[in-house]
Amino acid sequence: GTLLISPFLAAIALIIVCTSPGPAIYAHRRVGKNGKHFNCYKFRSMVQNADEQLKQYLAANPKAAKEWAETQKLKHDPRVTKIGAFLRRTSLDELPQLFNVIIGQMSLVGPRPIVDSEIPKYGEFFSDYKMVRPGMTGLWQTSGRSDTSYDRRVRLDAWYVRNWNIWLDISLIVKTIRVLLSSKNGAY
C-alpha cells in the first residue's frame, strides 16, 4: 500500500519544500515499546526552528504556556505553516509513520506515540503504554482527537492496551476513516 501511495507522498513532500524552507520530513524522538526510543516520522508542518519559537512564544504568552502544560498542544500554534495546518487537519502529516510501521517501531493501531516529557503524565499507566507499539491511530485519535483532555488520552491508551483484540483494531481503523472524512474533527 505504501508503494501505491508513494507518488502522493512525493507530491506532499514537494509542496512542503516549495512553500517553506527546510526538509519535508521531520523526525521526532518518541518513546516506543519497552520504553525504547525511535524517530517518529511526520511531514513537517511547522517552521524550521519550531522548538526555539515555542520557547519564546510560551515565555511571552502565559495563557498559551498553561494550554501547553495541560495538553502538550496549542490550538492556535503560530509555528504551523499554512500547508502544515491543512496537513494536520486532514492527518496527512502522519503518513510517513507508515515507514515506522514497516520497520516495526509502530503499529497501525495503538497508543499515541509520546515524548519523554510526557512520561510523568502517564504515571501508573506508563507500564501499560510501553507494553505495545505506539500506533498511527487509536482510541484517543477517534475520540475527540486534539480536543480530548490529556488525562482522558492517557486513560484511553491504557484501556486500549488492557482490552486489545483484533476486532478492536479493525473497528478503530474504520472509525479513523470516518473521523478523517469528517470536517469537524480535525487535529491542530
pLDDT digits (tens, 9 = 90+) for 111-167: 999 999 999 999 999 999 999 999 999 998 888 766 678 888 899 999 999 999 999
DSSP per-residue letters across 4-58:
HHHHHHHHHHHHHHHHSSS-SEEEEEEE-GGG-EEEEEEE--B-TTHHHHHHHHH
Using one digit for the tens of pLDDT, what is the confidence trace for 54-107?
Answer: 889 989 988 988 888 887 788 888 899 999 999 988 889 999 999 999 999 999
What is the span of the domain harbouring residue 141?
2-45+80-185
| Co-location of 10 and 37 in the same domain | yes
| Co-location of 73 and 89 in the same domain | no
Overall domain count for the chain: 2
Identify the CA nearest to 138 among candidates 162, 105, 112, 99: 112
| Co-location of 98 and 174 in the same domain | yes
| Co-location of 89 and 152 in the same domain | yes
| Co-location of 58 and 99 in the same domain | no
pLDDT of residue 150: 84
| Co-location of 167 and 95 in the same domain | yes
| Co-location of 85 and 119 in the same domain | yes
Task: Name the pLDDT band for 180 (thresholds 50, 70, 90).
Answer: confident
DSSP 73: -
Task: Name the pLDDT band for 187 (thresholds 50, 70, 90).
Answer: low
Q: Which of 62, 78, 94 is the last residue of a domain?
A: 78
Using one digit for the tens of pLDDT, what is the confidence trace for 23-65?
Answer: 999 999 999 999 999 999 999 999 988 888 888 998 998 898 8
pLDDT of residue 86: 93
Total residue count of the chain as it appears in this document: 188
| Co-location of 111 and 61 in the same domain | no
pTM of the model: 0.85
| Co-location of 92 and 153 in the same domain | yes
Please state, in angstroms and rounded to a whole number, the distance separating the CA atoms of residues 29 and 27: 7
